[in-house]
């Protein structure tokens, strides 16, 4: 196994891992000893891609359930996406452009986080405050249903009502409830509240609904409602769990709504998928990422994992990854039923913001963390720091520098300080925030999780732990 310290795609995503390996870190010997298990993990994940099943994975009803996350990248009939489904999304995007004033995406967990990631990456800051022309005719975007929070919901109603009263009426609103099960409390209640409010004010609002849900009439209340009310419905296919659905209809509908290039996003995902399926050992970036963190946890007690994106737009990507890691690998038992209490606690950090808070703990606290930096090499909007204070020597340090140069200096300084103290860290690098590279990164993270599930022998595709509170909550609510 040749360890070069950096691996990735030519001209694309890179994984720099040299600060995870060495004396006091993950040793080369430990990695070599893991090689047979890594080989098995490669075979198992190839099997998932081909057969669509993962060893011992069952749905929450106890029946075998497909695992289709790699298939999202391949446009083929029978896969989560095909040519027809992409064209349907593109048509929806074209129809909404210029005609829809605001779209409210209503979902939680996997039915929210992926959409928020795409929104943050596809739009300019303060999107909803920009004039429509600056938004190229694309709608304002709001999020609801990602909590049970009446104040937040009132805030959306009030904001849209004020727009209708003072700017334009009726406002053309698209409500987009997203729920795979079609029965989740948070999105259903928020959707119901928004729909009834808007329908009771036809002088202010024209409301349309586009539902995204599992197309199973018996199981999904949302799908039944869509059929009864003739709302267009987009599927969340069987085999795509919430935390993996950013690359199928839920996430892609947000892309369509904002003109974000779906085909490039999936092309990048496909490139990463192909690389992972074709390579082994240290040539496989996701396998290496998974193996190093597995060993860091097992041998060095690194049971906290920080994803620290440099730039505000990357914060929600961290939140999306938190769900992916926590739900996939946080498991009480392995696939043989043995109690293992596996998984790391995921943490989102943002550079440089959290260098003024969490970094103290990363640098001096317990040696139980892997810090992963996420860097975007080329900024979307370069901006030079002018110097209105030429007499101030202290300001000369920053004067006439490009903001991105300052950001990079901060990242490198953080990385160097951790490394000099023997702290585990790695860097993920994207050339720029273009959809293709985002697709590569998302697939890299999904494959990393899949490989680590194999190494730890846990089911990375179920989430039995969330059923415990749901049972208690439903019983309480049923009491009235």
Q: Calculate the alpha carbon distances from 12 to 268, 278, 437 in Å.
A: 9, 17, 6
Q: CB-wise, 15 or 69, nearer to ligand PA5?
A: 69
| 256 half-sphere exposure, CB direction, 13 A CA radius | 25
Q: Calculate the alpha carbon distances from 466 to 130, 245, 327, 462, 463 in Å.
A: 39, 18, 9, 10, 6
Q: Which of 16, 135, 180, 270 binds ligand PA5 (CB under 6 A)?
A: 180
Q: Does 311 bind ligand PA5 (CB under 6 A)?
A: no
Q: Which of 243, 344, 362, 423 binds ligand PA5 (CB under 6 A)?
A: 243
Q: CB-wise, 243 or 270, nearer to ligand PA5?
A: 243
Residue 104-123 contact track with ligand PA5, rule CB under 6 A, x = bound: ----xxxx------------
Kindly indicate which of the ranges 131-139, 178-186, 370-378, 405-413 contains the residues binding ligand PA5, using the contact rule CB under 6 A: 178-186
169 annotated active-site: no
* Minimum distance of ligand PA5 from residue 439's CB (angstroms): 20
Helix 185-199 crosses helix 150-166 at what angle (to 10 degrees)?
Answer: 30
* Minimum distance of ligand PA5 from residue 372's CB (angstroms): 21
* Minimum distance of ligand PA5 from residue 51's CB (angstroms): 22
Site for ligand PA5 in 460-479 (CB under 6 A): 463
Cα 17 to Cα 4: distance, rounded to the nearest angstrom: 9
65's CB contacts (< 8 A; 6+ apart) are 57, 58, 59, 238, 239, 461
Q: Does 235 bind ligand PA5 (CB under 6 A)?
A: no
Which of the residues 65, 327, 375, 415 is marked catalytic? 327
Q: Does 179 bind ligand PA5 (CB under 6 A)?
A: yes
Phi-psi region of 262 (alpha: psi -120 to 50; beta: other; left: phi over 0): alpha
Kindly indicate which of the ranges 10-18, 241-249, 425-433, 435-443 contains the residues binding ligand PA5, using the contact rule CB under 6 A: 241-249
- Residue pair 446/460 in contact (Cβ under 8 Å)? The answer is no
104: nearest Cα among 133, 45, 145: 145
Q: CB-wise, 108 or 286, nearer to ligand PA5?
A: 108
Helix 35-51 crosses helix 285-300 at what angle (to 10 degrees)?
Answer: 130
Cα 141 to Cα 116: distance, rounded to the nearest angstrom: 10
Q: Which of 241, 268, 343, 351 binds ligand PA5 (CB under 6 A)?
A: 241
Q: CB-wise, 191 or 204, nearer to ligand PA5?
A: 191
Cα 146 to Cα 286: distance, rounded to the nearest angstrom: 30
* Minimum distance of ligand PA5 from residue 361's CB (angstroms): 28
Q: Does 343 bind ligand PA5 (CB under 6 A)?
A: no
470 annotated active-site: yes
Cα 154 to Cα 159: distance, rounded to the nearest angstrom: 8
Cα 443 to Cα 286: distance, rounded to the nearest angstrom: 9
Q: Which of 70, 80, 242, 351 binds ligand PA5 (CB under 6 A)?
A: 242
Q: Does 240 bind ligand PA5 (CB under 6 A)?
A: no
Q: CB-wise, 79 or 184, nearer to ligand PA5?
A: 184
172 annotated active-site: no
- Residue pair 68/237 in contact (Cβ under 8 Å)? The answer is yes
* Minimum distance of ligand PA5 from residue 241's CB (angstroms): 5
How do the residues of the chain divide into helix, strand and coil, expressed in percent and rounded to 5? 50, 15, 35
Q: Which residues are catalytic?
A: 327, 356, 470
Q: Which residues bind ligand PA5 (CB under 6 A)?
A: 108-111, 179-181, 184, 187, 241-243, 327, 463
């Amino acid at each position: 196994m040749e360890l070069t310290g950096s691996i990735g795609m030519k001209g694309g995503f890179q994984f720099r891992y040299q600060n995870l390996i060495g004396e006091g870190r993950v040793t080369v010997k430990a990695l070599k000893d893991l090689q047979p298990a890594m080989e098995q993990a490669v075979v198992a994940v190839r099997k998932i891609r081909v057969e669509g099943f993962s060893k011992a994975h069952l749905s929450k009803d106890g029946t075998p359930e497909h695992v289709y996350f790699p298939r999202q990248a391949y446009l083929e009939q029978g896969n989560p996406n095909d040519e027809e489904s992409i064209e349907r999304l593109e048509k929806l995007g074209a129809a909404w452009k210029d005609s829809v004033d605001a779209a409210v995406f209503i979902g939680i967990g996997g039915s929210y986080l992926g959409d928020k990631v795409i929104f943050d990456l596809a739009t300019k800051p303060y999107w909803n405050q920009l004039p429509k022309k600056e938004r190229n005719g694309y709608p304002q975007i709001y999020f609801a249903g990602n909590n049970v929070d009446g104040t937040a919901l009132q805030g959306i109603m009030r904001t849209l009502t004020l727009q209708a009263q003072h700017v334009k009426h009726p406002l053309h609103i698209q409500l987009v409830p997203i729920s795979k099960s079609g029965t989740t409390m948070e999105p259903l209640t928020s959707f119901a509240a928004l729909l009834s409010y808007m329908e009771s004010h036809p002088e202010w609002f024209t409301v349309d609904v586009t539902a995204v849900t599992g197309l199973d009439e018996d199981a999904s209340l949302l799908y039944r409602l869509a059929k009864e009310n003739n709302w267009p419905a987009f599927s969340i296919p069987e085999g795509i769990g919430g935390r993996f659905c950013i690359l199928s209809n839920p996430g892609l509908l947000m892309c369509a709504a904002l003109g974000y290039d779906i085909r490039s996003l999936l092309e990048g995902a496909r490139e990463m998928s192909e690389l992972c399926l074709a390579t082994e050992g240290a040539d496989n970036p996701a396998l290496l990422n998974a193996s190093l963190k597995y060993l860091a946890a097992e041998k060095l007690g690194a049971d906290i994992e920080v994803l620290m994106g440099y730039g505000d737009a990357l914060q929600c990507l961290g939140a999306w990854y938190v769900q992916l890691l926590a739900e996939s690998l946080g498991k009480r038992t392995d696939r043989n039923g043995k109690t293992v209490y596996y998984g790391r606690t995921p943490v989102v950090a943002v550079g440089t913001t959290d260098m003024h808070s969490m970094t103290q703990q990363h640098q001096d606290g317990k040696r139980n963390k892997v810090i992963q930096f996420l860097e975007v090499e080329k900024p979307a909007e370069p901006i030079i720091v002018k110097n209105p204070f030429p007499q101030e020597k202290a300001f000369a340090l920053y004067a006439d520098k490009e903001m991105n140069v300052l950001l990079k200096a901060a990242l490198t300084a953080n990385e160097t300080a951790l490394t000099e103290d023997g702290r585990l860290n790695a860097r993920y690098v994207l050339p720029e925030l273009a959809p293709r590279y985002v697709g590569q990164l998302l697939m890299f993270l999904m494959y990393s999780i899949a490989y680590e599930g194999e190494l730890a022998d846990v089911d990375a595709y179920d989430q039995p732990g969330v059923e415990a509170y749901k049972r208690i909550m439903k019983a309480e609510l049923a009491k009235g």
